[in-house]
Structure 1
Amino acid sequence: MTAGRGKGKSSLCSGFPLSILFIVVNEFCERFSYYGMRAVLVLYFKFFLHWDDNLATAIYHTFVALCYLTPILGAIIADSWLGKFMTIVSLSIVYTIGQAVLSVGSINDLSDHNRDGSPDNVPLHIALSMIGLILIALGTGGIKPCVSAFGGDQFEDDQEKQRSTFFSLFYMAINAGSLISTIITPSLRATECGIHTKQRCYPLAFGVPAVLMAVALIVFVAGSRMYKKVKPQGNIMLQVCKCVGFAIKNRFRHRSKEFPKREHWLDWASEKYDKRLIAQTKMVLKVLFLYIPLPMFWALFDQQGSRWTLQATAMNGDFGIAVQPDQMQIVNPILIIIMVPVVDSLIYPLIKKCKINFTPLKKMTVGMFLASMAFVAAALVQVQIDKTTPVFPAAGQTQIRLMNLGNVPVTAQFQPQLQSVHVAPKEATDYMIFEASELQLDITSGSLNEAHLLEGLLEEKRYTYAFQVSGTDIVSSLILDNVTSKPEEGQNLIRFINSDVSTVDITLDDETVAVLPPLSASNYTTIPGGHSRYTIKSETSSSICSVLSKKFGFGSAYTISIDDCTQGILNITYFEDIPPSSVHMAWQIPQYFLLTCGEVVFSVTGLEFSYSQAPSNMKSVLQAGWLLTVAVGNIIVLIVAGASKLSKQWAEYVLFAALLFVVCIIFAVMATFYTYVDPNEIEAQFDEEEKKAKKDQDDREKEAEADSKM
């Protein structure tokens, strides 16, 4: 039932087929492509397509759910029609096209661009992005159940040790691809590219994974003549489904009392299916029943790439080097590499020495609990972030602050409010909230007293009222602060205001920013987050001065007053419009640590438990069921996040933690009623019965033959 190997007899050291080298390299490139693209996906939705956090999260989890639904389709195609090799090749082509379409859909380099950085033709970009993601989901999901199994097919029956080593190499290739891509693609995204405008380089961040997927396809096809290709032999998954369907149909057909009850409802399939298949299906369904609570774990786990990445955008990413919000996802694969051997070689043996019966289902329960605690930790971090987030004006409100650019103090009073505000030289007040209407402002300095009418104030906007005492006058300017949210992705915003008496030409690192008349302000300029410093230069008709800026941190906005010049040194004053993010990204490490520990004892143990409890020919059914729990988990995120209507993100984290804790208790109760079985022992009994039946049949045939001769 197998095709010839062609040149498949070529082998590496220790008897390994040379063909596995192509398969391992293919898997590394494919995982690099998938995880690299997925790492930057939610930020692409938010900062390129300009979707809000909830929509970006919803589409992200819809995509991930689709990636874990399509493996069932891939398994059916491979086992029933095309075989593993042709299924991998065909769907890899679809996969590569999808990555290319997504990359093309993120190109926004038209000269007529929008000021907020959003794409010029939004419907086209969204359509291309969605088409690309659907093709990627079909490709990555479709080949998922085929590649590892195809690698296992390359070994002979007596090469069990080599096959086991291959699966270890295969797992390392997955983690290496994930780890390296999660470092590289966020860095590519963070670079600036474009001909007409400088913007985040999503085409490059998606383009490199597209190239790696093309390489994966080429490498896999290159080894074609060396592969051992097993022909499709029918899908056991379909047989199980047909057996279950017939049992249900037959049970309802014979509901009358004349038909005696049967020990198990699946026994109603015995009229059409043999006892072995029915017994194997019982074992599988017993495990699948335990899978029912599992999606809740994945609902929390996969939020690393959505909610947790969005959380990191409001945090300080200074680790000596600037770490991008989407790069924090590397903490998970790093901790996996560390924790798996530690748990296997240290924690489990220690528990065993303490004579604690730490069964697989107990391990999975602990994993759920740890994931729940990870979201409690995320909620605590979010509370600290919210404390440092500025309050912006709501509907019907406007915010105003007073900025004294002069060298003498003033007293200001808003009418009809009676409170007085003292503003020292070179200082500014905090933003004050008023109803969006006309306001009268009285400014007093010494014997000077002037009234100013502030007209045309817009709701949900911020304003700066800048002024200075000049001789016997108070000169002023009302400036719209066109920023009503924290800067995106930890970047900073700076603008300049001229408090000098002359018009100044301002440059930042030799790039012209603005030419400002007295008491006028420039637009905000975006600079990267981090601790870089910039040369600020001011040029007037009589002097050229410069100064090295302060370090701005992450997520801040500043107004910089250009004051005067002293011996070539520019005197400036910093006014903090939005404070930099003060909660460090390192505070996310505890929640990543708890979630990764949960993954190690939940995911690894769950797969081992499933395989140990399933018949040898039905491992693929449980693999499909396991992947289905991941898909359902991502669908749960959509339902809970959409139905909860919670305004605070920390409250949503607590909600998910509480839901998983409840599910954890339910699973623990289910686990206490589970009876472990040995599928090999049960199958051996059927083998003995079949041998005995065959022997009896042979004996009867011999007797019949002897009788016929007499």
Structure 2
Amino acid sequence: MRAVLVLYFKYFLRWDDNLATVIYHTFVAVCYLTPILGAIIADSWLGKFKTIVYLSIVYAVGQVVMSVSAIHDLTDANKDGNPDSLTVHVALSMVGLILIALGTGGIKPCVAAFGGDQFEENQEKQRSRFFSIFYLSINAGSLLSTIITPILRGQECGIHSKQKCYPLAFGVPAALMVVALIVFIVGSGMYKKVSPQGNIMVKVCKCISYAISNRYKNRSKSIPKREHWMDWAKEKYDERLIAQIKMVLKVLFLYIPLPMFWALFDQQGSRWTLQATTMDGNFAGFQIQPDQMQTVNPILIIVLVPIVDIVIYPLIRKCKLNFTPLKRMTVGMFLAAMAFVAAAVVQLEIDKTLPKFPTSSQIQIKVINLGTQSYSVYFKENVPTASENLITVDPQQASTYEMLNINTQMRVVTGKGNFTQSFANFSGERRYTYVISDQNMLEVDWAEDISKKPEQGSNAIRFVNSLQERINITVAGTSLGEVLPYSLSNYSMLTLGVKQIEAITESGKHCSAETLKFGFGSSYTIIIKNCTDPMAVEYIEDIQPNTIHMALQIPQYFLITAGEVVFSVTGLEFSYSQAPSNMKSVLQAGWLLTVAVGNIIVLIVAGAAGLSEQWAEYMLFAALLVAVCIIFAVMAYFYTYVDPAEIEAQFDSDGNKKKDKEKEALGYEIGDGPHSQTKM
């Protein structure tokens, strides 16, 4: 569903890029914040199985609501073109997204932990293999959805009018979620279900709060120091709970640097996809769309997980290297940083091919000469000492874009008169084209050009009518309407490939021609010179097509996917293995919380940095992750791995240490520290 969500925001709800991006990242962040709620419900009341079932129903209902919200025949919103009339769609979309966030977030910590519950303590190898297969399955689904969902969206559907079929793109995931839920419930009798052990989260919070307040109250008293600050809760809470909280806090402390990894990882669906829109997707005659490059990640996951699990890790063990989970995660963070260095290198190559667009105080002007003689075009800034710059435009030709300050004046000298234009009231960061002819009399038309690469790899095409009569133009089956003599048509967005142009003149003459083969992200102004068969046309390239191949993104995808394999799969297993038996979902929720914080970091860093160059932003994120990676490596060095089952076995049913009661029977008094035992 996320594969098309931003497109739904932008092209159906008609939100601008910034709002669509903010809502998208906010939704993702909420999806990874709600696991805390799911973990509390699972560990405290319902248990993992029932939590998965109930919240999956919420999840499916949310998907259904999203599908309904995308039905454009639901209201007249898409007929009048007024965004205010989209209120019903927006309201339903927000309800659907909230339900989805609750559902997906609620089951996220439970599914992995529920799978881990199916193994005995002595099945560590099998459990490790399960987490690899679990992650493999997630990415197999991701691969299929990233391919299929855009195809579903690309279909046209509707009763009264045909539009992109977002209801189908959202509805199919809803149906599949229902099927998955039914299959899961059918297998109920085969599962090992761990019963919830009370409202553990509330108990944990109260215990931590009591420890802090008790330590604060006794800070000035001459009471011996205690080994751990949580030991200040011993007066009220049992030792087993305190030991369990110590284990959880140790792991949560390690999680502090982890969001930075996800800040980089989740940009595959935003920054890297936008980068792909400025690249060439022709793979041996098969065209890849920019958003389909995201399939590289799940493909590599499916390939790399078995290789790493079956080949790489066993080889490392044979070499007698102690490649611990935290060391693996450190390597994963470093690989992700290197992926962004690779992305920056690719961006530098792309920047060499991009046109130079005007700044906020500049505009760009191009002149098309439809006359029979050369035109002299003068540009002069409104400054007393400014000199006048001259360019010459030959007949049936166009000048290159001239970069001008907005206080500039243009003067065109023709055989039939002069034309003057001041740009003082024009907005900056714009491009304009002037069409001028003096064949009969001085004729002038002008239009604003696109001032950025066409989105989603499309090609922006428009026409100039150089004939002395009106002409109706149809391109690729879409009518552009009537174009007056010596005037510009509106833009038509075309996909890649060769298209058919057809025209009918005012006098009834028909003519047609095939276009050149369009690539990705180009913009052309096409002059119709004569309505003959074939039609005589002249191409003016306003923005060149993408020339840097999308294959250059594969190294950065490989690096970040390799980092994901050794970071994320290991992190899931580590979170489970280091968690007490009654807090496994809570710790899984803590792991998922790092993803939410990572998405928030993207918005904060990208907004605060304010870097105009994309390659510089990539390098900034890479540098931040390297710094965090070093911090995490130091923290990991001092971490001591524990066996939660072994620690919990040291306590009796009342939560007290078994060995303590044995020593009390022998006449020992137990003090605060590990060596404070004294004979009574």
Instruction: Please indicate the TM-score interval, normalised by the length of the shorter structure.
Output: 0.7 to 0.9
Residue 412 of structure 1: how far off its partner (Å): 3.2
Distance in 2, matches of 1:423 and 1:161, equals 75
Question: Does 1:494 find its partner at 2:461?
Answer: yes
CA contact (8 A) 2:5 2:24 kept: yes
CA distance in 2, matches of 1:155, 1:601: 22
CA distance in 2, matches of 1:611, 1:184: 33
Matching residue within 523, 527, 539 for 1:561: 527
Within 5 Å, which residues of 2 pair with 1:354-369?
Answer: 356-369=321-334
CA contact (8 A) 2:502 2:510 kept: no
The answer to whether 1:261 aligns with 2:261 is no
Is 2:432 aligned against 1:463?
yes
* 2:179 corresponds to 1:210: no
Q: How many Å apart are 1:83 and its aligned residue?
A: 3.5
SS in 2 for 1:121: helix
Partner of 1:74: 38
Please tell me whether residue 423 in structure 1 is matched to residue 393 in structure 2.
yes
Deviation at 1:551, TM superposition (A): 1.5
- Cα distance 1:138–1:322, how it changes in 2: closer, same or farther (>3 A)? same
Segments of structure 1 that go 5 or more residues without pairing to the other structure are: 1-36, 701-710
For 1:623 and 1:332, the matched residues in 2 are separated by 23
SS for the counterpart of 2:486 is coil
Tell me, in whole angstroms, the C-alpha distance in 1 between the residues paired with 2:159 and 2:489: 24
C-alpha distance in structure 1 between counterparts of 2:246 and 2:601, whole Å: 28
Letter matched to residue 459 of structure 1 = S
Q: How far apart are 1:220 and its partner, in Å?
A: 4.1
**In the aligned structure 1, how far is the partner of 2:602 from the partner of 2:113?**
31
Q: Is the partner of 2:490 in helix, strand or coil?
A: coil
Query: Which amino acid is the alignment partner of residue 179 of structure 1?
Result: L
Aligned ranges for residues 436-447 of structure 1 at < 5 Å?
436=406, 439=409, 441-444=411-414
1:477 matched residue in structure 2 = 444
The question of 1:380 aligning with 2:345 is answered: yes
Q: Could you tell me which amino acid in structure 1 is paired with residue 500 of structure 2? A: Y
Q: Check conservation: 2:135, 2:569, Cα contact below 8 A.
A: no
Q: What is the distance in 1 between the residues matched to 2:313 and 2:534? A: 65
Q: What TM-score do you get using the length of structure 2 for normalisation? A: 0.85
Q: Which residue of 1 aligns with 2:8?
A: 44
Q: CA deviation at 1:373?
A: 1.6
> Deviation digits for residues 4-59 of structure 1, max 9, x if unmatched?
xxxxxxxxxxxxxxxxxxxxxxxxxxxxxxxxx11222333344445454443333
User: Does structure 1 residue 287 correspond to structure 2 residue 257?
Assistant: no
For 1:550, the aligned partner's letter is: L
Q: AA paired with 2:298? A: P
With over 3 angstroms needed to count, the CA separation of the structure-2 counterparts of 1:147 and 1:600, relative to structure 1, is: closer
User: What is the aligned-residue identity percentage?
Assistant: 65
Query: Closer, same or farther in 2 for the Cα pair 1:315/1:102, shift >3 Å?
Result: farther
Equivalent residue for 1:57, pick from 21, 25, 30: 21
Aligned to 2:93: 129
Q: 2:606 aligns with which of 641, 646, 661?
A: 641
Aligned equivalent of 1:7 = none
Structure 2 counterpart of 1:652: 617
Following superposition, the deviation at residue 229 of structure 1 comes to 5.9
Compared CA separation, residues 264 and 571, structure 1 to 2 (3 A): same
Query: What is the CA-CA distance between 1:572 and the residue it aligns to?
Result: 0.9
- What letter matches 2:427 in structure 1? E
3-state SS of paired residue (2:323): coil
Q: 1:630, CA displacement in angstroms?
A: 1.8
Kindly indicate whether the alpha-carbon contact (under 8 Å) linking 2:113 and 2:588 is maintained by their aligned counterparts in 1: no
Alignment CA distance shift 1:66-1:512 (3 Å):
closer
Paired with 2:404 and 2:124, the residues of 1 have a C-alpha distance of 75
Alpha-carbon distance, 1:140 to partner: 0.5
Which residue of structure 2 aligns with residue 179 of structure 1? 143
**2:325, 2:119 → 1: CA distance?**
30
Q: Report if aligned partners of 2:61, 2:99 keep a CA contact under 8 Å in 1.
A: yes
Aligned position for 1:13: none
Q: Which moved more, 1:639-648 or 1:129-138?
A: 639-648
Cα gap change, 1:527/1:201 in structure 2, threshold over 3 Å: closer, same or farther?
farther
Change (3 A) 1:191 1:462: farther
Shift of 1:493: 1.9
Report whether the alignment pairs 1:546 with 2:512. yes
- CA–CA separation in structure 1 for the residues paired with 2:194 and 2:319: 47
Range with bigger deviation, 242-251 or 219-228: 219-228
Residues 536, 549 of structure 1: 8 Å contact kept: no
- Partners of 2:89 and 2:560 in 1: how far apart? 35
Structure 1 residues 146-545: aligned runs within 5 Å: 146-150=110-114, 170-193=134-157, 199-221=163-185, 231-319=195-283, 320-352=285-317, 356-395=321-360, 397-406=362-371, 409-414=374-379, 418-436=388-406, 439=409, 441-444=411-414, 448=415, 450-454=417-421, 458-460=426-428, 461-468=430-437, 470=439, 473=440, 475-528=442-495, 530-539=496-505, 541=507, 543-545=509-511
Q: Does 1:138 align with 2:107?
A: no
Shift of residue 137, structure 1, vs aligned partner: 0.7
Match of 1:601 among 548, 566, 576: 566
Distance change (3 Å), C-alpha of 1:434 and 1:475: same
2:548 aligned counterpart, secondary structure: coil
Deviations 1:390-435 (A, max 9, x none): 4444556443211123565444334676332222343211222445
* Gap regions ≥5 residues in structure 2: 382-386, 668-680
Give the Cα separation in 1 of the matches to 2:185 and 2:510.
Answer: 64
Cα distance change on mapping 1:475 and 1:199 into 2, 3 Å: farther
Separation in 2 of the partners of 1:69 and 1:77? 14
- Contact 2:52–2:111 under 8 Å retained in 1: yes
- Relative to structure 1, the CA distance from residue 75 to residue 509 in structure 2 (aligned partners, 3 Å threshold; closer, same or farther) is closer
Instruction: Indicate conservation of the 8 Å contact 1:491/1:554, yes or no.
Output: yes
What SS is found at the alignment partner of 2:31?
Answer: helix
Output the CA distance in 2 between the equivalents of 1:288 and 1:438: 60
Q: Which of 628, 636, 657 pairs up with 1:671? A: 636
SS at match of 1:402: strand
Equivalenced residue count is 656
Instruction: State whether residues 376 and 657 of structure 1, in contact with CA within 8 Å, keep that contact through their aligned partners in structure 2.
Output: yes
Relative to the length of structure 1, the TM-score reads: 0.82
Query: Cα gap change, 1:525/1:196 in structure 2, threshold over 3 Å: closer, same or farther?
Result: farther
How many angstroms apart in 2 are the aligned matches of 1:90 and 1:579? 53
- One-letter code of the match for 2:9? F
SS at match of 1:497: strand
Instruction: Map Cα deviations across residues 504-539 of structure 1 (whole Å, 9 max, x no partner).
Output: 3322245433233422222212222x2243343445
Write the distance in 1 (CA, Å) between the matches of 2:126 and 2:306: 21
